[in-house]
Chains A and B, each alone.
Chain A
């Protein structure tokens, strides 16, 4: 009975998720993983970097993701568990402890709020859900902006 109920609840939450987010941005990989893709525009002290952010969100709130540039070169990978993000496999020129520290803090905040569909503020960080579905995040301390714009993931396949 319990597994059936858990499965029903999971199905309902996944359905709610698909209705809350723009449909084209979400891809249900299987009954326990939802995949999302975003254009990610990062602005750091006047410099802009456009990237693609792909993440798999599991039912237990575990998230695994990657940030790549449009040519496919990896910028970094990330995981998220129990409110904390880990930054992995960072693009060599950016692989500095202080960069990873800021990214870790920012992505812990982003990933704990990205799926809630509402604005959030914590210390010097702010997340705003825009009317068009974009998600804007600002780290005021280091003057870094992130803009997540949902992209179509219909061409993606999973092994």
Chain B
């Protein structure tokens, strides 16, 4: 009896401290469907972002900013503007990476780890990754600030890098508001998406890789 009381106490206390409740399987299914529906309806999107990288060994954070453009089904422009210039353009299987010192063209199909990472980027910014059951074990939580999903990687290539990826949604569950990626080494990357505009006209030139 004493032991049971202790377990109940620990569970209640942990729920209180974390301020988050895990959704039941049925609740999660409904929510994921709602998010997936919103992600499918979003034909294009653009936003600003801030990225904060916490480096455990250096006890330090590095912040960078940029802009993002997305167009269904798989066109993405992820551009850092400060403190460095670096542009990642994905158009189907082709990727172009432009930095101040070089431009590289990569065929994603020929590079397994690169393919996994580009899939993560695409799926996390739209929220579409919640349905990829073969890639992640998904848990959805409700907190004081809204709903968020924890994605535990299943594939070896991703597992080697990340412990968990957390995706936070806006209150109407139509868009991703931030993504937190926790690496195996304890380093974290938090990406906040700001000034989101859905279904806006985006010039095809933004995704040019030829």
List the interface of chain A (C-beta within 8 A of B).
35, 37, 39, 41, 48, 50, 52, 54-56, 64-66, 68, 70-74, 77, 88-89, 91-93, 147, 149, 151-159
- CB atoms of A149 and B101 under 8 A apart: yes
Question: Within the complex, what minimum Cβ distance (angstroms) separates B136 from chain A?
Answer: 17
Question: Within the complex, what minimum Cβ distance (angstroms) separates B104 from chain A?
Answer: 6
CA A158 to CA B121, docked complex, whole Å:
27
B126 within 8 Å of A (CB atoms): no
Q: Which of A50, A77, A92 contacts B161 (CB 8 A)?
A: A92
Contact flag A39-B57 (CB < 8 Å), given A54-B62, A157-B63: no
- CB atoms of B58 and A64 under 8 A apart: yes
Q: Which of A37, A50, A152 contacts B101 (CB 8 A)?
A: A50
- CB atoms of A66 and B57 under 8 A apart: yes
- CB atoms of B60 and A149 under 8 A apart: no
Q: Which of A41, A72, A93, A153 contacts B102 (CB 8 A)?
A: A41
Total number of B residues with any Cβ neighbor in A under 8 Å = 36
List the interface of chain B (C-beta within 8 A of A).
51, 53, 55, 57-65, 78, 80, 82-84, 86, 88, 97, 99-102, 104, 113, 117, 121, 157, 160-161, 181, 183, 185, 187, 189
Q: Which of A70, A72, A159 contacts B59 (CB 8 A)?
A: A159
CA A92 to CA B116, docked complex, whole Å:
14
- CB atoms of B60 and A93 under 8 A apart: no
Q: Which of B59, B60, B83, B86 contacts A50 (CB 8 A)?
A: B86
- CB atoms of B185 and A158 under 8 A apart: no
Question: Within the complex, what minimum Cβ distance (angstroms) separates B10 from chain A?
Answer: 30
Q: Which of B51, B61, B88, B187 contacts A156 (CB 8 A)?
A: B61
CA A144 to CA B176, docked complex, whole Å:
40
- CB atoms of B84 and A39 under 8 A apart: yes
- CB atoms of A52 and B84 under 8 A apart: yes
Query: Inside 8 A of B121's CB, which chain A residues have their CB?
Result: 71
Query: Inside 8 A of B185's CB, which chain A residues have their CB?
Result: 74, 77, 89
- CB atoms of A154 and B83 under 8 A apart: yes
Query: Inside 8 A of B60's CB, which chain A residues have their CB?
Result: 35, 54, 56, 156-159
- CB atoms of B84 and A70 under 8 A apart: yes
| Minimal Cβ-Cβ distance residue in A for B50 | A155
CA A154 to CA B64, docked complex, whole Å:
10
CA A157 to CA B102, docked complex, whole Å:
28
CA A20 to CA B113, docked complex, whole Å:
40
Query: Inside 8 A of B82's CB, which chain A residues have their CB?
Result: 155
Query: Inside 8 A of B86's CB, which chain A residues have their CB?
Result: 50, 70
Beyond contacts A91-B161, A151-B83, A155-B65: 13 other A-B pairs, Cβ-Cβ < 8 A, are: A37-B62, A48-B104, A50-B97, A50-B102, A56-B60, A70-B64, A72-B53, A72-B187, A92-B157, A155-B83, A159-B59, A159-B60, A159-B61
CA A50 to CA B98, docked complex, whole Å:
9
- CB atoms of A73 and B183 under 8 A apart: yes
Question: Within the complex, what minimum Cβ distance (angstroms) separates A137 from chain B?
Answer: 14
Q: Which of A50, A56, A92, A159 contacts B160 (CB 8 A)?
A: A92
Query: Inside 8 A of B183's CB, which chain A residues have their CB?
Result: 73-74
Query: Inside 8 A of A56's CB, which chain B residues have their CB?
Result: 58, 60
Contact flag A147-B101 (CB < 8 Å), given A89-B185, A91-B161, A92-B161: yes
| Minimal Cβ-Cβ distance residue in B for A76 | B185
